[in-house]
């Protein structure tokens, strides 16, 4: 299964996928890593010898133009699945249209609880005892697509956004790798979501 992974930040979830795909038995390969900015996580692609590309959001006059440039890059790599893993931008409609439902996203909350860019902070602020991690199919909404895998994560007393996010990420990586396996083995059939 050919994966292109899109990031904006540190790429710890990307790294987990790169490590998993080092195993010859793993039925998926990250063929390229893309980012909307000079993300630190691009260093993981470099380390693993995976091509990367940057389509800087700030270089384009509109979200639409950025989307066209991103789509052109994606097409070069012919991904079977596009993985959003810490991409902090909503995909423009033409990109979703081109690849849906073969676009998945990891989110650090138990969707539909706490969607959006601050899911960890929002869960902490809500004072709930637990939150979670989710892997969904990307649609044109904000973290609103069909849920493929999700698990609960406890919020511990004294948790900060950082400590809670780290605990969630450990689980996100597991769910992401499981989702990729399910897609590669057709245990999840994307045609069911078309
Ligand atoms: C992850 O929690 C992801 O779900 C969220 O942003 C975080 C990215 O972390 N969208 P990293 O860049 O993979 O370390």
pLDDT digits (tens, 9 = 90+) for 92-151: 999 999 999 999 999 999 999 999 999 999 999 999 999 999 999 999 999 999 999 999
User: CA-to-CA distance for 180 and 173, rounded, in angstroms?
Assistant: 11
The residue whose CA is least distant from atom 2 of ligand 1 is 108
User: CA-to-CA distance for 171 and 162, rounded, in angstroms?
Assistant: 15
What pLDDT, on a 0 to 100 scale, did the predictor assign at position 194? 87
Q: Which residues share a beta bridge with 150?
A: 134
Helices (H), the chain: 12-20, 42-47, 63-77, 93-99, 119-126, 161-184
For residue 133, how far is its CA from the centre of ligand 1 (angstroms)? 11
User: CA-to-CA distance for 113 and 53, rounded, in angstroms?
Assistant: 32
Mean predicted confidence (pLDDT) in 38-67:
98
Q: Do residues 52 and 73 lie in contact, with contact meaning Cβ atoms separated by under 8 Å? A: no
- Is the ipTM beyond the 0.90 threshold? yes
Residue 185 annotated as part of some ligand binding site: no
């Amino acid at each position: 299964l050919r994966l292109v992974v899109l990031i904006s930040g540190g790429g710890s979830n990307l790294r987990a996928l790169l490590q998993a795909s080092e195993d010859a038995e793993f039925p998926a390969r990250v063929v390229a890593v893309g980012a909307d900015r000079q993300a630190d996580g691009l260093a993981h692609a470099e380390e693993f010898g995976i091509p990367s590309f940057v389509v800087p959001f700030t270089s384009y006059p509109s979200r639409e133009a950025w989307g066209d440039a991103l789509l052109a890059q994606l097409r070069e790599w012919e991904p079977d699945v596009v993985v959003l893993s810490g991409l902090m931008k909503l995909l423009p409609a033409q990109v979703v249209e081109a690849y849906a439902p073969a676009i998945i996203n990891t989110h650090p909350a138990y969707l539909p609880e706490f969607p959006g860019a601050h899911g960890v902070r929002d869960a902490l602020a809500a004072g709930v005892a637990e939150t979670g991690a989710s892997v969904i199919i990307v649609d044109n909404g904000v973290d609103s697509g069909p849920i493929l895998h999700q698990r609960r994560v406890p919020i511990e007393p004294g948790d900060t956004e950082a400590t809670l996010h780290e605990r969630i990420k450990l689980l996100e990586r597991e769910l992401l790798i499981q989702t990729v396996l399910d897609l590669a083995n057709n245990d999840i059939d994307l045609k069911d979501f078309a």
